A and B are shown apart, each in its own frame.
Chain A
Amino acid sequence: EPEVTQTPSHQVTQMGQEVILRCVPISNHLYFYWYRQILGQKVEFLVSFYNNEISEKSEIFDDQFSVERPDGSNFTLKIRSTKLEDSAMYFCASGLLQPQHFGDGTRLSIL
């Protein structure tokens, strides 16, 4: 069964550094999403992406985040100037309409 793959599985970064999280969505899916889940909190929507542009974004997205689909397969999330509170699991998802398949996430630890 096709799956969404995310790399790396764990990223440790110094505060203030930029981080790029990578995702390979399922190939025939049209919508791509990034979510984050801070430990003990609920899954939080960050952005949805369709037809090579952002479809919807959360209130916090523009502060620090950007997304790209640099080629036909990868979908990346860039976090600028990381803060301690950015430590979380970051999930990529893809689907034909709704987020049908999630990756196993990247655990981001900011030191």
Chain B
Amino acid sequence: TQLLEQSPQFLSIQEGENLTVYCNSSSVFSSLQWYRQEPGEGPVLLVTVVTGGEVKKLKRLTFQFGDARKDSSLHITAAQPGDTGLYLCAGASGNQFYFGTGTSLTVIP
């Protein structure tokens, strides 16, 4: 089993602040996905990054894949209450997708 550690595990910030969530592993992945999961629902895919060093932007969210394809980060600019949720990274190895430990984000109005 390949481990993906996310940090921080919990994050509570004020509306308008910026934040970064990290996803780290000692394993190399062919691609990495970020999901957001809300209570009682399945994870929703936000982005897939494939190339080492790749940066993708989705409105106020910026995703980066590490050069060595072992780690990734998610940066949120000017967080809003609607960003509240559990953020999950998942790394692909073969046709298995290993999920990270999750970061629970709360944005306080």
Q: Taking beta carbons and an 8 Å cutoff, which residues of A are in contact with B?
A: 4, 31, 33, 35, 42-45, 48, 50, 55-56, 58-59, 91, 93, 98-105
Contacts and interface: CB of A to CB of B under 8 A. Distances in A.
Interface of B: 1, 31, 33, 35, 40-45, 48, 88, 90, 92, 94-102
Binding site secondary structure of chain B: strand
A59 B95 CA distance: 14
B95 A93 contact: no
A30 B90 CA distance: 19
B36 to A, nearest CB: 11
Given A43-B88, A103-B42, A98 B33 contact: yes
A15 B92 CA distance: 34
B31 A104 contact: no
Contact of A31 (B43, B95, B102): B95
